[in-house]
Structure 1
Amino acid sequence: MHFSVIFRVLGILLMLFSMTLLPPIFVSLYYNDESLVAFLSAMGLIFATGCLLWLPSNKTRHDLRTRDGFLITVLFWAVLGIAGCLPFIFSDQPGLSFTDAMFESLSGLTTTGATVITGLDDLPKSILYYRQQLQWLGGIGIIVIAVAILPMLGIGGMQLYRAETPGPVKDSKLTPRITETAKALFLIYCTLTITCALSYWAAGMTLFDAIGHAFSTVAIGGFSTHDASMGYFDSPIILIVCMLFMILSGVNFALHFYTSRNRSISHYWHDPEFKFYISCLAIGIPITIAYLAHTDTYDLETSAIHGSFEFISILTTTGFGTADFTIWPGFLPFFLFLFAFMGGCAGSTGGGMKVIRVLLICKQGIREIKRLINPNAVIPIKLGQTSVSDRVVEAVWGFFAVFVISYMIMFILLMATGLDFLTSVSAVGACISNLGPGMGDVALNYTDINNPAKWILCFAMLLGRLEIFTLLVLFSPSFWRR
């Protein structure tokens, strides 16, 4: 393990992160709010810490190994969570405790969207902007962004990319070089963000709200600048724009890249994961709308808007809201909540287990049924025309098993802190799938739950964002052996 290189990388990345506080500083100056000193103090402290980590090892040159990449990824997210919470602590508004500030920071960076802050409409504009920006940075993964420049500093980037990029297949590259891959992803991400912001602005949002909500929409984060979330705007056009970009952001970014490069959308329709993703939307949305209309919860038009929006928001793990889906009648709240465990496609900004894993689990289940009828048959699992190796299927089942076990342990721990069953089971589910809103006492926010529960949920958010194994591998004794 090359600890000198690890500290050097962490130092560089912290110094880079300190620069991301410049936009909130400019926002604070523009609106003349009271958070300027908080952001300046946080920026100085983060930059100084980065320098202290970087200086002792700035001349060290070693290639990063896979284990180094995993450790840097986990350490950076933990360190970045601490760095990101400083403005929330230093600012008089919201003036959060360390626990609450850490929860808010990690929720933003992991694009979970769970919040402990109420009274958003009265907060300083710079704090509101900063929350949205945290999600935008977390959406693409600040480490993936950083590998575009790390090679220029003499540090190989593929190990970081493999540890950070979500999905069961880690080795696929959009372009031959990792630097070009990171740039391609970042360009697509920025293009979607700018297009989304302009669309929101054209639909009637203020420029400030349009930029802020574009950040959290494309990041599939769900933070809003208003307590009422998207319901604040009371505009079907804005909701339609939001639904479109949530769906696009839940798609594998590799497909967006191939489409932009080849000027063709045929890649979407040939991709099995995308087709399964669209099929889930095509099945779930009509069921939600029909049940809302059938139970007279809303009229048909309102059912169509609210039903479509909430289903897309929850399936993609964005977490925006126009209504409190937890009080909808019958099975509907649980029906919607279960789809969050699937989440978006691999290679997207969405959370959850990822569509490709759910698809492979379904195909494996079908194969086992066929084997009961024909025990000696050789039945390959295929995605399109490509056979999937048994090693990949085993990895998917391993991920699913660890996901369920982790969920159960944290759910029991949460109940041990004093939370009720519904709150516990939904809070862990909402955090490990990076959804945000849960049910019970966490349907609207996480303000009133106890501090031990918040730390457990912080771990759940990291576990979900880093796709379980990236974090848990550090707890394996063999990881630390030479």
Structure 2
Amino acid sequence: MHYKVILRILGILLMIFSITMLPPMLISMHYEDNTLMAFAAGFAITLVTGFMLWIPVHRVRQDLRTRDGFLVTVLFWAVLGLFGALPLMLADNPHLSFVDALFESLSGLTTTGATVMTGIDQLPESILWYRQQLQWLGGMGIIVLAVAILPMLGIGGMQLYRAETPGPVKDSKLTPRITETAKALWYIYLSLTVLCALGYWAAGMTLFDAVGHSFSTVAIGGFSTHDASIGYFDSELIEGIAIFFMVISGINFSLHFFAWKHRSLKHYFLDPEFRFYLTVLTAIIALSFVALTITNTYEPGDSLRKSAFMVVSIATTTGFATADFAHWPTMLPFLLFVAAFAGGCAGSTGGGMKVIRILLILKQGYREIQRLVHPNAVIPVKLGNTPISDRVLEAVWGFFSVYMIVFVVMLITLLATGLDQVTAWSAVGATLNNLGPGLGDVSAHYGDINDTAKWVLCFAMLLGRLEVFTLLVLFTPIFWRR
């Protein structure tokens, strides 16, 4: 383990992260909202800490190996989440407790979108900006993690995308060439954010709201500058723009890279994961529309509008709202919530287990049925025309098994803290899948649950964002052996 290199990287990360507190400082000065000192203190503490970590090891030059990559990846979110909580603790409004500030900060950086805050409309503009900005920064980190780093670490079947990674990142160690990948992804991510912001602005949002919501839309985060979320604007055009960019952001960013590189959209429809992703979204929208119409919950036109928005928002794990889906009739709340377990495509800013894994599990299940009829047949599992190795399938099944075990253990833990079954089940699902809104007592916010439960859910957010294995491997003795 190259601890000096890890400390050097961590110090650089903290110094860079401190710079992200400057925009809220400028906004605080512009609006005179009395949070300037909170952000200035957060900036200074983060910068000095990063510098103190970096200066003793700044001359160290070594390549990161796979094991170092696991530790750096976990520390990226854990440490930035910790320092990101500083302004939320130090500001007079909202002036959160340590656990609440950490929860809000991690929720932003992991793009979960679960909040402990109420009265969001009354928060200072600088705090509103900061929350949205945390999600945007986390979304960019997720893209680099999912497309450039996890395939090389071999996390839960992500080896599948190693050959498709944009840029020349195809060896088994972490090298400076990842910067080429990150640069290409950054341009795509920034371009989508700018287009989304312009769309919102043209549709009637203020510039402040447009930029803020574009941050959380492209990051598939779900934080809003209003308590009523996207429903605050009551605009079909704004909802349509949100749906488009939520769907786009839930697609593997490798596909966006190839679309930009080859100036073609054809490869989207040749990708089995993309086709399955659109099919599932369309099917759930249709089913929700029928159920809402039959039960006379809304008029037919409103049923389609609410169904389309809420299904895309929940299924992609964004978490924006235009309706209280927790109180929809029949099986709809459960259906939408379960859809979030699949989440977005691999290599996207979406949460959940990822569509590609669900697709491979279904294909493997179908192969087992075929083997019952033809026990001696050799039946490969294919994505399109490409056979998938048994090693990848084993990794996918292993990921699915561990994901479910973690879910059950955390559910039991939350029940032990005194939460009711619906609240506990949905809170674990919402944080582990990086969704945000839950059911029961966490359908609106997480501020009323006990601190022990919040600590558990902070861990769940990290587990979900780091694809479970990346974090759990640090708790195994073999990881630390030389």
Instruction: State if a TM-score over 0.5 links the two structures.
Output: yes
The Cα shift of 1:56 comes to 1.1
Q: What's the counterpart of residue 241 of structure 1?
A: 241
Alpha-carbon separation, structure 2, partners of 1:194 and 1:165: 32
Mark the CA change 1:34 to 1:442 in structure 2 (over 3 Å): closer, same or farther: same
Q: What's the counterpart of residue 342 of structure 1?
A: 342
Q: 1:208 aligns to what SS in structure 2?
A: helix
Tell me if 1:254 matches 2:254. yes
Tell me if 1:168 matches 2:158. yes
1:430-469 to 2 correspondence within 5 Å? 430-469=430-469
The Cα shift of 1:59 comes to 1.3
Mark the CA change 1:309 to 1:159 in structure 2 (over 3 Å): closer, same or farther: closer
Q: What's the counterpart of residue 98 of structure 2?
A: 98
What do residues 300-328 of structure 1 show as CA deviations (whole Å, max 9, x unaligned)? 01111111100000110000001110100
Amino acid at match of 1:75: L
In the alignment, is the contact (CA less than 8 A) between 1:166 and 1:346 conserved in 2? no
Alpha-carbon separation, structure 2, partners of 1:217 and 1:140: 12
Mark the CA change 1:378 to 1:167 in structure 2 (over 3 Å): closer, same or farther: closer
Amino acid at match of 1:135: Q
Amino acid at match of 2:166: L
Alpha-carbon separation, structure 1, partners of 2:445 and 2:469: 28
Amino acid at match of 1:367: R
Q: Please list every run of at least 4 consecutive aligned residues from structure 1 whose deviation after the TM superposition is greater than 6 angstroms.
A: 164-167
Mark the CA change 1:321 to 1:328 in structure 2 (over 3 Å): closer, same or farther: same
Q: What's the counterpart of residue 174 of structure 2?
A: none
Amino acid at match of 2:92: D
In the alignment, is the contact (CA less than 8 A) between 1:89 and 1:97 conserved in 2? yes
In the alignment, is the contact (CA less than 8 A) between 1:314 and 1:339 conserved in 2? yes
Mark the CA change 1:168 to 1:159 in structure 2 (over 3 Å): closer, same or farther: closer
The Cα shift of 1:76 comes to 2.2
The Cα shift of 1:410 comes to 0.2
1:282-321 to 2 correspondence within 5 Å? 282-321=282-321
1:136-175 to 2 correspondence within 5 Å? 136-141=136-141, 144=144, 162=152, 168-169=158-159, 171-172=162-163, 173-175=165-167
Alpha-carbon separation, structure 2, partners of 1:323 and 1:214: 20
In the alignment, is the contact (CA less than 8 A) between 1:108 and 1:135 conserved in 2? yes
1:183-194 to 2 correspondence within 5 Å? 183-194=183-194
CA RMSD of the aligned region, Å?
1.7
Q: 1:243 aligns to what SS in structure 2?
A: helix
The Cα shift of 1:178 comes to 2.1
In the alignment, is the contact (CA less than 8 A) between 1:315 and 1:344 conserved in 2? yes
1:374-389 to 2 correspondence within 5 Å? 374-389=374-389
In the alignment, is the contact (CA less than 8 A) between 1:143 and 1:164 conserved in 2? no
Mark the CA change 1:142 to 1:358 in structure 2 (over 3 Å): closer, same or farther: closer
Alpha-carbon separation, structure 1, partners of 2:447 and 2:358: 33
Alpha-carbon separation, structure 2, partners of 1:44 and 1:165: 36
What do residues 30-59 of structure 1 show as CA deviations (whole Å, max 9, x unaligned)? 111111110010000000000111111111
Moved more, 52-61 or 98-107: 52-61
Moved more, 425-434 or 56-65: 56-65
Q: What's the counterpart of residue 79 of structure 1?
A: 79
1:14-93 to 2 correspondence within 5 Å? 14-93=14-93
Alpha-carbon separation, structure 2, partners of 1:449 and 1:324: 20
The Cα shift of 1:60 comes to 1.5
Q: Which runs of 5+ in 2 are unaligned?
A: 169-176
Alpha-carbon separation, structure 2, partners of 1:164 and 1:57: 29
In the alignment, is the contact (CA less than 8 A) between 1:166 and 1:466 conserved in 2? no
Amino acid at match of 2:167: T
The Cα shift of 1:168 comes to 2.0
Q: What's the counterpart of residue 173 of structure 2?
A: none
Q: 1:94 aligns to what SS in structure 2?
A: coil
Q: What's the counterpart of residue 356 of structure 1?
A: 356
Amino acid at match of 2:111: T
In the alignment, is the contact (CA less than 8 A) between 1:252 and 1:346 conserved in 2? yes
Q: 2:17 aligns to what SS in structure 1?
A: helix
Mark the CA change 1:321 to 1:158 in structure 2 (over 3 Å): closer, same or farther: closer
Alpha-carbon separation, structure 2, partners of 1:468 and 1:165: 9
Alpha-carbon separation, structure 1, partners of 2:307 and 2:278: 16
In the alignment, is the contact (CA less than 8 A) between 1:380 and 1:388 conserved in 2? yes
Alpha-carbon separation, structure 1, partners of 2:148 and 2:286: 42
Mark the CA change 1:111 to 1:364 in structure 2 (over 3 Å): closer, same or farther: same
Number of matched residues? 472
TM-score (norm 2): 0.96
Q: What's the counterpart of residue 232 of structure 2?
A: 232
Q: What's the counterpart of residue 219 of structure 2?
A: 219
Amino acid at match of 2:463: L
What do residues 195-231 of structure 1 show as CA deviations (whole Å, max 9, x unaligned)? 0000000000000000000000000000000000011
In the alignment, is the contact (CA less than 8 A) between 1:164 and 1:466 conserved in 2? no
Alpha-carbon separation, structure 2, partners of 1:64 and 1:415: 41
Q: What's the counterpart of residue 113 of structure 2?
A: 113
Amino acid at match of 1:423: T
Amino acid at match of 1:168: M
Mark the CA change 1:342 to 1:160 in structure 2 (over 3 Å): closer, same or farther: closer
In the alignment, is the contact (CA less than 8 A) between 2:109 and 2:135 conserved in 1? yes
What do residues 375-413 of structure 1 show as CA deviations (whole Å, max 9, x unaligned)? 000000000010000000000000000000000000000
In the alignment, is the contact (CA less than 8 A) between 1:73 and 1:164 conserved in 2? no
Q: Work out the percentage of aligned pairs sharing the same amino acid.
A: 62
Q: 1:171 aligns to what SS in structure 2?
A: helix
Mark the CA change 1:215 to 1:159 in structure 2 (over 3 Å): closer, same or farther: closer
Alpha-carbon separation, structure 1, partners of 2:421 and 2:271: 39
Alpha-carbon separation, structure 2, partners of 1:56 and 1:232: 50
Alpha-carbon separation, structure 2, partners of 1:222 and 1:167: 27
Moved more, 172-181 or 420-429: 172-181
Alpha-carbon separation, structure 2, partners of 1:34 and 1:160: 41
Alpha-carbon separation, structure 2, partners of 1:82 and 1:164: 27
Alpha-carbon separation, structure 2, partners of 1:89 and 1:166: 36
Amino acid at match of 2:181: T
Mark the CA change 1:225 to 1:158 in structure 2 (over 3 Å): closer, same or farther: closer
Q: 1:311 aligns to what SS in structure 2?
A: helix
Amino acid at match of 1:434: N
The Cα shift of 1:175 comes to 1.3
The Cα shift of 1:171 comes to 2.5
Q: What's the counterpart of residue 11 of structure 2?
A: 11
Amino acid at match of 2:87: P
Q: Which runs of 5+ in 1 are unaligned?
A: 148-156
Q: 1:141 aligns to what SS in structure 2?
A: helix
